[in-house]
């Protein structure tokens, strides 16, 4: 039993290398001064689905319809890039030394669709690094199909690889039907699933991390383009010349489609903290109130014909996170929390308990830590021996009805088993057991039978 407890304890410790946030849906409500009067109101977000995560811990920060299946538009190309890079193990040198091309089969389905392009031509030979840049910066749909036809034997075969990868990454609410995202039938995902994909891709492939952070790139010369081709990132948050510029944003991918609205996946690194945001369903058209605002503020971004509401959402969320969230300690791993009763202890009948680990997470400075309830549970029927480190209870941190973390409580006390108490308990248990009662009943019956037999025999002798 003691060995089993130790094995379980080791398994739990392995699982909890990162403190568990037990409620996946738990998130904060971001606030900002919407009216410019100093009053912090709930932030108005244009996107219909929003998922923001702390990249260092994987903890959800903001979750608005994050698990809702939606059309991801060109966010699809993030998976195309991941499957593509799997073929090269992310080696940028191999990418630059390998060349792909494709005939009209890569282009036919794209004609008259308004698909974004890097002006790659049928049968033009392009190195794979440039294809990756074309795929991710200007969101070139022909680059997606060229990649698909060279990695697999068909466009459909490549989407099979995409879906297999999605399954491997646990993207349970995702299905791809093409490599570029401009066709919507059976092409869907969620902000949560796309965030998982981005976390995987940014961590596994540094070359992709570098590419998506480029505001522009000059593609190498080819037979069709002897002077090369200049391409530009559709994420204007990366351009120093844009009204949407955000100097600590590092990518990742935009997506725009009538059926999807404006979508965006981006991440940001600042002061040792990294956030990832995926949004879908921001408006395509300029909002009525912003048309008037454009007249009133002719030098603002609202004066342009188009307003990129997906970019605005990300800017406002990053501003809120970096100004409002602070790393906050909730649990001190060295503090003794409570004690557990221990049966059959040699010299003590209790064990002191402390958290198996501390717990720290980003927390809004305006939400009091005291509002987080600590619910302590000590397990029943604990018997000696108890070793230091044995899991004897748990602590749940609860905020606004949501469990934000569950932490094991472990013993800081070694309690040896008492043989005397054990034997006494065994003896006491025997005398109160059904076996003893049945045995006693049998003995009583036998004794009664003997007495009756003795009396009968004695009476017969007396009568004689």
Taking only the tens of pLDDT, the chain with its 464 residues reads: 333 333 333 333 333 333 343 334 467 888 887 767 777 788 999 999 999 999 998 989 999 999 999 999 999 999 999 999 999 999 999 999 999 999 999 999 999 999 999 999 999 999 999 999 999 999 999 999 999 999 999 999 999 999 999 999 999 999 999 999 999 999 999 999 999 999 999 999 999 999 999 999 999 999 999 999 999 999 999 999 999 999 999 999 999 999 999 999 999 999 889 999 999 999 999 999 999 999 999 999 999 999 999 999 999 999 999 999 998 999 999 999 999 999 998 888 999 999 999 999 889 888 888 999 999 999 999 999 999 999 999 999 999 888 989 999 999 999 998 865 555 454 555 556 676 567 767 788 778 777 887 777 777 777 65
What is the CATH code of the structural domain delimited by 45-325? 3.40.710.10
Domain locations along the chain: 2-24+332-411, 45-325, 439-464
d(CA 392, CA 353): 8
pLDDT of the residue at 258 = 95
Q: Which tokens go with 353?
A: 């308990």
Q: Are 227 and 221 in contact (CB under 8 A)?
A: yes
pLDDT of the residue at 4 = 36
How distant, in Å, are the alpha carbons of 125, 264, 293, 304 from that of 307?
Answer: 37, 14, 12, 7
2-24+332-411 and 45-325: same fold?
no
pLDDT of the residue at 187 = 97
pLDDT of the residue at 83 = 98
**Other Cβ atoms within 10 Å of 229 Cβ, number:** 20
For residue 180, report the phi and psi dihedrals to the nearest 5 degrees. Answer: -115, -25
How distant, in Å, are the alpha carbons of 349, 353, 428 from that of 438?
Answer: 33, 43, 16
Q: Which tokens go with 40?
A: 């912090």
What is the CATH code of the structural domain delimited by 2-24+332-411? 2.60.410.10
- Closest by CA position to 161, among listed 44, 81, 250: 81
- Closest by CA position to 81, among listed 137, 157, 125: 137
Rounded to two decimals, what is the model's pTM?
0.81
């Amino acid at each position: 039993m003691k060995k089993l407890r130790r094995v379980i304890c080791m398994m739990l410790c392995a699982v909890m290398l990162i403190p568990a946030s037990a409620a996946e849906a738990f998130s904060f409500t971001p606030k900002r001064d919407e009216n410019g009067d100093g009053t912090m109101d709930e932030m108005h977000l244009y996107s219909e689905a929003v998922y923001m995560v702390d990249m260092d811990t994987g903890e959800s920060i903001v979750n608005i319809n994050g698990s809702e299946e939606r059309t991801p538009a060109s966010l699809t190309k993030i998976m195309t890039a991941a499957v593509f890079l799997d073929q090269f193990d992310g080696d940028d040198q191999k990418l630059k030394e390998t060349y792909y091309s494709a005939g009209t089969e890569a282009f036919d389905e794209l004609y008259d669709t308004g698909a974004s392009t890097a002006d790659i031509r049928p049968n033009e030979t392009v190195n794979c690094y440039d294809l990756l840049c074309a795929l991710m910066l200007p969101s070139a749909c022909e680059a997606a199909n060229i990649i698909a036809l060279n990695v697999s034997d068909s466009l459909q075969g490549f989407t099979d690889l995409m879906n297999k990868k999605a399954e491997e990454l646990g993207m349970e609410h995702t299905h791809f039907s093409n490599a570029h995202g401009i066709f919507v039938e059976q092409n869907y995902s969620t902000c949560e699933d796309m965030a998982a994909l981005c976390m995987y891709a940014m961590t596994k492939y540094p070359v992709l991390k570098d590419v998506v952070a480029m505001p522009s790139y000059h593609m190498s010369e080819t037979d069709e383009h002897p002077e090369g081709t200049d391409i530009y990132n559709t994420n204007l948050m990366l351009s120093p010349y844009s009204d949407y510029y955000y100097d600590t944003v590092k990518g990742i991918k935009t997506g725009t489609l009538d059926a999807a609205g404006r979508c965006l996946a981006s991440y940001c690194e600042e002061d040792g903290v990294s956030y990832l945001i995926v949004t879908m369903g921001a408006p395509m058209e300029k909002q009525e109130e912003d048309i008037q605002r454009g007249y009133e503020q002719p030098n603002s971004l609202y004066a342009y014909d188009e307003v990129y509401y997906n970019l605005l959402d990300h800017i406002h969320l990053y501003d809120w996170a970096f100004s409002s969230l602070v790393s906050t300690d909730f649990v001190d791993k060295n503090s003794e929390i409570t004690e557990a009763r221990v049966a059959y202890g040699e010299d003590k009948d209790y064990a002191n308990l402390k958290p198996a680990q501390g717990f720290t997470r980003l927390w809004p400075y305006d939400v009091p830590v005291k509002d987080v309830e600590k619910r302590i549970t000590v397990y029943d029927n604990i018997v000696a021996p108890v070793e230091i480190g044995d899991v004897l209870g748990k602590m749940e941190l609860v905020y606004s009805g949501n469990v934000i973390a569950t932490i094991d409580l472990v013993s800081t006390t070694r309690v040896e088993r008492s043989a005397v108490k054990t034997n006494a308990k065994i003896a006491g248990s025997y005398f109160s057991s059904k076996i003893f009662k049945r045995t006693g009943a049998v003995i009583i019956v036998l004794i009664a039978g003997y007495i009756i037999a003795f009396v009968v025999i004695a009476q017969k002798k007396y009568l004689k």
